[in-house]
Amino acid sequence: MFETLSDRLGGVFDRLTKQGALSEDDVRTALREVRVALLEADVSLPVARDFIKAVERKATGQSVTRSVTPGQQVVKIVHDELIAVLTGEGDPGALRIDNAPAPILMVGLQGSGKTTTTAKLAKRLKERDRKKVLMASLDVNRPAAMEQLQILGQQIGVDTLPIVKGEDPVAIARRAKTQASLGGYDVYLLDTAGRLHIDADLIAQAAQVRDAVNPRETLLVVDGLTGQDAVNVATEFDDKIGVSGVVLTRMDGDGRGGAALSMRAITGKPIRFVGLGEKMDALETFEPDRVAGRILGMGDIVALVEKAQQTLEAEQAERMMKRFQKGQFNMNDLKMQLEQMMKMGGLQGMMQMMPGAGKMAKQMDEAGLDDKILRQQVALINSMTKMERANPQLLQASRKKRIAAGAGMDVADLNKLLKMQRQMSDMMKKMGKMGKGGMLKQAMK
Ligand code: GDP
């Protein structure tokens, strides 16, 4: 799926990733090509423009992780932004089907794959969610469509409402509701009539059915191959009837992922499922990261950048350990430790993670020993110069006064901080000697 977009972007990024370093101009040129690729993939102009703008904003000023090229970094940023745009709220696969029998209304144009999707969804609800499902076709103008649903029902072992000739759609919907209640069904799916185009009749009928059963979900089925048309259809259906989610079909074809991107950006409606073929199990929950990966077709680069970031962090940690072992523990290190502690929820948060320390956390709280102290300590370090942070032992009385004042605290507070840094430095030195000294090496001799 999405070969077109993926190939296009692939070409762009091939050129990018072969360069060692990128200038700002290069980034802009590259993003211009990404924009063209998006447009050719049927992403609408405003969506593509906004998307590129967001990526540019995020890319500018972002430091490039060592051991990947700036081009690779851009891929990662584009990838993350795609996910951000594609992601809706909540789990797309979780349908609201509590309060049995829960009605689900299926709407869409003729030929979009609505009947097929109704049956696929019924099969999924039956097999994955262990629900008792009933299906009913409301397409009174096309007897063939009603029979089609019946045949699919037999295939997947899901009941369909018996066809009664001459009944209108609202009457069928009501009958489905009664039958679902009496028959102990958990869910009933209503496959509404489709037309080739949206017209007043179609909308009026769907609205009447909606009012008759009050659906828990109204799922719009659209052909993912129709790009911008699919988005227009969705906008209109949502305006006139209100939809709770979208199913994009034919995403197995020579698809242009643009529809998914525009759909999210323009309608704001969550994409819930994608259809990936004609078979009854060719329906998948919409997964933004997977789709973004497929749009780019460069999952390996994304993984590479993630790996490089991890490696970098590991390298930093190792360098720090080496310095600590030599007793080099300055104010920058202390600041990092303090900030790490704040990230972990402060002193209390850390205490709570230690078994049996909950009571101590409470006592600390009562004694006023909270995050405020951590923040004050960081503020003190922040008001030192770079030189002073690296060599805090050089601090003179006059500078101490000014630093304390700069952080809004007393010299006594600063002295406490300096003492803490010295103690930690000593401790690190001892631990370093032990490591080298060789408790381990001794034992191995
Ligand atoms: P309806 O008129 O909207 O009810 O459309 P149908 O459910 O009858 O589907 C029309 C055609 O599209 C059928 O031949 C389906 O098998 C096919 N179809 C539906 N969904 C998909 C899909 O996700 N992928 C592919 N390749 N074909 C699909």
Helix 70-86 and helix 3-17, axial crossing angle in degrees, nearest 10? 150
Position in ligand 1 atom list of the atom nearest CA 224 = 23
* 3-state SS class at 195: coil
Tokens (6 digits) for 55: 């990526």
Contact 105, 195 (CB under 8 A): no
Q: Write the ipTM.
A: 0.98
Backbone angles phi, psi at 22, to 5 degrees: -115, 135
CA of 216 relative to ligand 1 center, distance in Å: 24
For residues 400-437, b (16+ Cβ closer than 10 Å) or e, as one string? Answer: beebbeebebeeebbeebbeebeebbeebbeebeeeee
Burial level of 302, CB count in 10 A (0-12/13-18/19+)?
buried
- How many CB atoms within 10 Å of residue 25? 8
Tokens (6 digits) for 133: 């499902």
CA of 414 relative to ligand 1 center, distance in Å: 72
- How many CB atoms within 10 Å of residue 322? 11
| pLDDT at residue 437 tops 50 | no
Mean pLDDT of the region 57-84: 72
C-alpha distance from residue 217 to each of 12, 23, 86, 213, 230 (Å): 40, 49, 20, 11, 19
Position in ligand 1 atom list of the atom nearest CA 274 = 23
The top-scoring range by mean pLDDT among 52-56, 275-279, 299-303, 325-329 is 275-279
Map tokens 């790490």 to a residue: 340
CA of 51 relative to ligand 1 center, distance in Å: 31
| The model scores a pTM over 0.90 | no
Percent of the chain past pLDDT 70, that is, above it, reads 76
CA of 362 relative to ligand 1 center, distance in Å: 62
CA of 223 relative to ligand 1 center, distance in Å: 9
What is residue 14's predicted lDDT score, i.e. its pLDDT? 61
Largest CA distance in the chain: 98
**Beta strands per DSSP E along 264-326:** 271-275, 283-285
Q: Write down the mean pLDDT value for the chain.
A: 81
Give, as one character, the DSSP assignment of residue 157: T
Q: Ligand 1 pocket: which residues have CB below 6 Å? A: 108, 110-116, 194, 249-250, 252-253, 275-278, 282
The string of pLDDT tens digits covering residues 107-163 is 999 899 999 999 999 999 999 999 999 999 999 888 899 999 999 999 999 999 999
Higher pLDDT, 304 or 412: 412
Burial level of 39, CB count in 10 A (0-12/13-18/19+)?
middle
| pLDDT at residue 52 tops 80 | yes
Percent of the chain past pLDDT 90, that is, above it, reads 34
d(CA 256, CA 40) in angstroms, rounded, equals: 9
Does the annotation place 224 within a ligand binding site?
no
Contact 271, 286 (CB under 8 A): yes
Task: Give me the DSSP letters along 353-413.
Answer: HSTT-HHHHHHHHHTT-SHHHHHHHHHHHHTS-HHHHH-GGG--HHHHHHHHHHTT--HHH
The string of pLDDT tens digits covering residues 318-374 is 777 777 777 778 888 888 878 777 766 665 555 555 555 555 556 556 555 567 788
Candidate from 109, 110, 116, 156 with most ligand 1 atoms within 8 A of CB, to mutate: 116
Higher pLDDT, 101 or 372: 101
Whether omega before 392 lies within 30 degrees of 0, making that bond cis, reads no
What is residue 256's predicted lDDT score, i.e. its pLDDT? 58
CA of 117 relative to ligand 1 center, distance in Å: 8
Helix 331-343 and helix 299-325, axial crossing angle in degrees, nearest 10? 130
Candidate from 278, 280, 281 with most ligand 1 atoms within 8 A of CB, to mutate: 278
Quick one: which of 194, 222, 189 has its CA closest to 206? 194
Q: Where does the pLDDT of residue 1 fall: very low under 50, low under 70, confident under 90, or very high at 90 and above?
A: very low
Position in ligand 1 atom list of the atom nearest CA 282 = 23
| Domains delineated in the chain | 1-89+288-325 (1.20.120.140), 102-286 (3.40.50.300), 328-444 (1.10.260.30)
d(CA 248, CA 257) in angstroms, rounded, equals: 10
